[in-house]
Amino acid sequence: MCDQQPTSRYLQQHYPRIRTSASILNRILRGGTLLDIGCGNGFLRQFITRDLTLWGLDYSAEHCTQASLAGYERVLCSDLEKGIPLDDQIVDAIYAGEVIEHVLQTSKLLTEMFRVLRKGGLIHMTTPNLAYLLNLVSILRGKQLSKVEYDHCVSDLGHVSYYSPTSLARQLRDTGFTNIVFHPYVNPQQRLGLRLVYRLSLTLARRNAQYLFVTARKA
């Protein structure tokens, strides 16, 4: 049987991307309530410098407790596939860091995010990029694409949905979101050679980094 609980190693791998997301949120947001979907242990809290009220949502009871201890004012323990257990138009911003790739009903998730977000509110999402520049090399060499999984009993990541910038932007627009912006990402913990490849990919096409960092607004 597969273990669906994220490991500490798995969460540690997210930290550089969480810090990048925090910098994006700090730059754009000025206040209000931020819902952190898939909040984990509440690691985002320590990087938020804006005067925000943080709410969290996670399916793990252990993570919900940890997020509360980290300073989240409200934490919901819930299965995201069943929806977001909040009233309509109740939060000012939503962060979903590497969540959508774990969800089968992605249109339902985006619709739920749109529903609970106030008019003019912001969403910020991250997800592995199917159009990652080095995936082209992997295809030519007959190798598995980055972050595309095929044996969920071996991996604890559980990726089931995959996006390119085009498909993610299209689904966001179809849900009703506007002002869709993709932000660059370079992992500071990777080897220098890979970092140079990332920077080159961002120079040639900002949407070919290993991970997509996108923001959008509810009109």
**pLDDT of res. 12:** 66
**pLDDT of res. 9:** 61
Asked whether residue 202 is assigned to any structural domain, the reply reads yes
Whether 5 has a pLDDT exceeding 60, the answer reads no
Asked whether residue 118 is assigned to any structural domain, the reply reads yes
* β-strand pairing of 74-77 with 52-58: parallel
Q: What is the pLDDT of residues 117-171, one digit of tens each?
A: 999 999 999 999 988 888 878 878 887 777 776 665 544 557 888 899 999 999 9
Q: How many domains does the chain have?
A: 1
Q: Which domain holds residue 82?
A: 8-218
Asked whether residue 101 is assigned to any structural domain, the reply reads yes
Question: Cβ distance 149 to 159 under 8 Å?
Answer: yes
Asked whether residue 18 is assigned to any structural domain, the reply reads yes
**Proportion of the chain above pLDDT 70, given as a percent:** 79
Q: Could you give the CA distance from residue 77 to residue 180 in angstroms, rounded to a whole number?
A: 29
Asked whether residue 23 is assigned to any structural domain, the reply reads yes
**pLDDT of res. 1:** 42
Asked whether residue 3 is assigned to any structural domain, the reply reads no
pTM of the entire predicted model: 0.84
- Lowest-pLDDT range of 98-107, 134-143, 189-198: 189-198
Asked whether residue 173 is assigned to any structural domain, the reply reads yes
The winner for highest mean pLDDT among 136-140, 149-153, 183-187, 199-203 is 136-140
Whether 112 has a pLDDT exceeding 60, the answer reads yes
**Proportion of the chain above pLDDT 90, given as a percent:** 62
Q: What is the pLDDT of residues 40-59, one digit of tens each?
A: 999 999 999 999 999 999 99
Whether 61 has a pLDDT exceeding 90, the answer reads yes
82: CATH = 3.40.50.150
CB atoms within 10 A of CB 74: 14
Phi, psi of 23 (to 5 degrees): -65, -35
**pLDDT of res. 198:** 57
Whether 4 has a pLDDT exceeding 50, the answer reads no
Whether 116 has a pLDDT exceeding 50, the answer reads yes
**pLDDT of res. 155:** 47
**pLDDT of res. 3:** 46
What is 86-141 written as a DSSP string? S-TT-EEEEEEET-GGG-S-HHHHHHHHHHHEEEEEEEEEEEEBTT-HHHHHHHHT
Q: Could you give the CA distance from residue 23 to residue 38 in angstroms, rounded to a whole number?
A: 18
Asked whether residue 2 is assigned to any structural domain, the reply reads no
The winner for highest mean pLDDT among 8-22, 82-96, 127-141 is 82-96
Q: What is the pLDDT of residues 26-41, one digit of tens each?
A: 999 999 999 999 999 9
